């Protein structure tokens, strides 16, 4: 089996590549050309991957890669993935996250390859029901969420129009020690380790009352793969079914090293979103029933393992 993974150097992409290699796949990844190395998360498996320079915003490069690789499975994890940043670069977010998915769907159409689209709980935005499932109406509250809605609908449209095996994974927040340093959970756990070691004094954050459903990324990429092994394509929510505030995450993360977060955290109004998503909590019962998938690692254990990893990273 041959798999093609966009976003292979990101958090999810690196875990997915590991999973696929472990299952005997020939794994190809798409990376963007950069003047500096940006493959840190996949350096340990670098020699086992076939990497191709391309960009989701460049339809010709994507088509050439698909034609060259001739994959059995295509996982589209590439995107401009930072929600707050999407307000500052909305057009690029639309091009990379929305049109990029369309470019890849067009390249895969007619090849017989299975297609996975990384959708997001940000689709639900201003939530219309609690918890959110596959039938909950979308109400995105950011350029990122709007772009993801376009990509989601395009995937469904290609599935129905061209009889493609194309599925959406609506993944709620999932974190790990490989999470990007600008995302709030990693920003917190990295700060905890630095503060404990005397290398940082303050942590600046935005809205501490936002509620999120946080799971563990390696478990979620297993769910992606399971979606692609079904007889028929469909869309699935992956979530823990628990919601916690950022304040609760702070308490667990700082408390793990015996610190009180109130002493170190300050609010920076610039970190607030123009339109906030107040509460996300997913209903993954369909994934549990059909895929046999469930989230095993919950917020408390997740925060602790991330703090421990960042502490050990600093020690090195």
Question: Contact, 176 vs 15, CB < 8 A?
Answer: yes
The residues that are catalytic are 120, 122, 144
**Does an H or E element contain 207, and which?**
none
How distant, in Å, are the alpha carbons of 88, 100, 105 from that of 160? Answer: 34, 20, 13
Tokens matching residue 165: 């095996």
Question: Contact, 77 vs 118, CB < 8 A?
Answer: yes
Cβ atoms within 10 Å, residue 304:
16
Residue 5 has what DSSP assignment?
E
How distant, in Å, are the alpha carbons of 9, 179, 260, 268, 294 from that of 216? Answer: 17, 10, 25, 28, 11
Question: Contact, 109 vs 157, CB < 8 A?
Answer: no
């Amino acid at each position: 089996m041959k798999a093609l993974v966009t976003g292979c150097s990101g958090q999810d992409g690196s875990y997915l590549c590991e999973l696929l290699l472990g299952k005997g796949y020939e794994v190809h990844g798409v990376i963007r050309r950069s003047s500096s190395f940006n493959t840190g998360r996949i350096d340990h498996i670098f020699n086992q991957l076939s990497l191709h320079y391309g960009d989701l915003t460049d339809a010709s490069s994507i088509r050439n890669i698909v034609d060259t690789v001739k994959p059995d499975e295509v996982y589209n994890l590439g995107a401009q993935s930072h929600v707050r940043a999407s307000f500052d670069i909305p057009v690029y977010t639309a091009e990379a996250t929305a049109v990029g998915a369309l470019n890849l769907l067009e390249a895969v159409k007619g090849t017989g390859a299975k297609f996975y689209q990384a959708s997001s709980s940000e689709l639900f935005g201003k939530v219309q029901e609690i918890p959110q499932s596959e039938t909950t109406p979308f109400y995105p509250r950011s350029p990122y969420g709007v772009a993801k809605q376009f990509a989601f609908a395009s995937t469904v449209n290609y599935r129905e129009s061209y009889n493609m095996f194309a599925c959406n994974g609506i993944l709620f927040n999932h974190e790990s020690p490989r999470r990007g340093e600008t995302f709030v959970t990693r920003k917190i756990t990295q700060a905890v380790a630095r503060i404990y070691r005397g290398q940082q004094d303050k942590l600046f954050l935005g809205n501490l009352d936002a509620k999120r459903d946080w799971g563990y990324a390696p478990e979620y990429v297993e769910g992606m793969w399971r979606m692609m092994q079904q007889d028929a394509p469909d869309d699935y929510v992956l979530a823990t079914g628990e919601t916690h505030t950022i304040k609760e995450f702070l308490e667990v993360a700082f408390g793990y090293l015996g610190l009180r977060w109130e002493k170190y955290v300050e609010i920076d109004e610039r970190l607030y979103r123009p339109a906030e998503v107040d509460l996300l909590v997913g209903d993954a019962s369909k994934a549990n029933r059909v895929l046999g998938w469930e989230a095993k690692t919950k917020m408390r254990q997740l925060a602790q393992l991330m703090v421990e990893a960042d502490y050990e990273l600093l020690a090195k």
